[in-house]
Structure 1
Amino acid sequence: MEKHVLIGCTGSVATIKLPLLLNKIFEKENDLPWKIKVKIVVSEHAKHFYTVSDVPTNVPIYCDQDEWSSWTNRGDPVLHIDLSKWADVFVIAPLDANTLAKLAQGLCDNLVTCVARAWDTSKPLLFCPAMNTRMWEHPITATHIETLKSWGYKEVPCISKTLMCGDTGLGAMAEVPTIIEHIYSVLGLNKC
């Protein structure tokens, strides 16, 4: 049996944790009752924060260009639909302020947001906010978070720490082990 994990990365510096997240997902795979398959979707701005060579070669990475190059005629695959059908869970880690706002407003102008818009809400969608403290504290952020939660999406809350810019406060993406716990939990494995 396989479990399919789709990871979405957006334009937050927390995308630098993608290799660690992948390592932790696969770390205990031999102890699991099923095999894990992972695919990644990235926004254009997320590309700034990771190196393709840091991602295992068996993990495909899709971007906006792939959406458009895979379709030419009626009947061709539609990548965001295929990915939303394939995945058992969609984990957006990190979810930057811009993409949070897009999702809460129903906008879908890139591959990550199109997958989210096509997501079957009977399946879990986890989102891990990550942004500067000032952005986190803006009143609209709480409204956007509550909108996503009202649709059944599950928040993996941000944490307080010293951010890359040197500011200290809430807004940092949850620690990778916490995200892994949430992924395993929604896939039906409570303890790893």
Structure 2
Amino acid sequence: MPRQFITELERTPDHTHVLLITTGSVASIKAPLIVQELLRYSNVKVEVVATKQSLAFFNTTDVEQTGARLWTDDDEWSGTYTIGDPILHIELRRWADIVLVAPCSANTLAKIAAGLCDNLVTSVLRALAPSTPTYIFPAMNTLMYEHPLTAQHLRVVREVVKYHVVGPIGKGLACGDVGLGAMTEWKDIVQTVVDKMQLQLKP
């Protein structure tokens, strides 16, 4: 029996519903830390949507042990869909109060800018209401970040799609290069949610 996600059963009054999206950057290794830290705050629920590529960098059980669930392309269509069944990318976008794409790889950034929706991640993003606060945290090699197309993609994401772009930062990268391209520090990503949603730590 395929897993289902139904918004009206999953949303809880007076809670903040955080959707964390991970994509194919080594910075996805920070996903369990982001989830764990968010859940230290009162009335917070977290769901994680991961691209296949991002799963190379963290253990899914590290996320699930926090109590959050992780969703992938394999959960989107079971092969037994009938009219009226919940559609995962629509249910997740209805559920989310705030969306974090952390990290956002060069590939996913390009897809967002082009309007592609060829996996669960990009389908959720394409389906989001414009009123849902959405934060993009780019993470890629310095030369990938400095590629002229990246600036064009970021312009579209900021000015046309109206997402908030935070980072990247300069530091030593996983590939050994030093320069601009690293994801914003994971604690600062959590603080973005705390500030935006006015969260309070659990007593």
Shorter-chain TM band: over 0.9
Per-residue Cα deviation, 1:73-100 (whole angstroms, up to 9, x for no partner): 1111110000000000110000000000
RMSD: 1.7
The one of 107, 112, 126 equivalent to 2:116 is 107
Query: CA contact under 8 A between 1:80 and 1:111: conserved in structure 2?
Result: yes
CA distance in 1, matches of 2:80, 2:44: 28
Secondary structure, counterpart of 1:65 in structure 2:
helix
Return the offset for 1:52.
Answer: 1.5
Name the counterpart of 1:184: 194
CA distance in 2, matches of 1:172, 1:83: 28
Query: CA contact under 8 A between 1:70 and 1:77: conserved in structure 2?
Result: no
Q: Spell out the pairing of 1:11-160 with structure 2 (5 A cutoff).
A: 11-27=24-40, 29=41, 32=42, 35-57=43-65, 58-69=67-78, 72-150=81-159, 151-160=161-170
Q: How many residues align?
A: 187
Secondary structure, counterpart of 1:81 in structure 2:
helix
Return the offset for 1:186.
Answer: 2.3
The one of 7, 10, 20 equivalent to 1:7 is 20
TM-score, normalised relative to structure 1: 0.92
Return the offset for 1:185.
Answer: 2.3
Aligned residues with identical type, % of pairs: 44
Secondary structure, counterpart of 2:102 in structure 1:
strand
Stretch deviating more after TM superposition (142-151 or 103-112): 142-151
CA distance in 1, matches of 2:197, 2:132: 10
| Runs of 4+ residues deviating >2 angstroms | 188-192
Q: Does the C-alpha gap of structure 1 residues 99 and 71 become closer, same or farther in structure 2, counting only changes over 3 Å? A: farther
Per-residue Cα deviation, 1:113-159 (whole angstroms, up to 9, x for no partner): 00000011111001100000010000111111111111221111110
Q: Which amino acid in 2 is paired with 1:16?
A: I
Per-residue Cα deviation, 1:4-57 (whole angstroms, up to 9, x for no partner): 000000000000011111122123x1xx4xx00000001110111110221143
TM-score, normalised relative to structure 2: 0.88
Query: CA contact under 8 A between 2:39 and 2:46: conserved in structure 1?
Result: no
Name the counterpart of 2:180: 170
CA distance in 2, matches of 1:76, 1:168: 48
Q: Which amino acid in 2 is paired with 1:97?
A: A
Query: CA contact under 8 A between 2:39 and 2:45: conserved in structure 1?
Result: no
Gaps of 5+ in 1: none
Return the offset for 1:190.
Answer: 9.6
Gaps of 5+ in 2: 1-13
Name the counterpart of 2:10: none
Secondary structure, counterpart of 1:55 in structure 2:
helix
Secondary structure, counterpart of 2:39 in structure 1:
helix
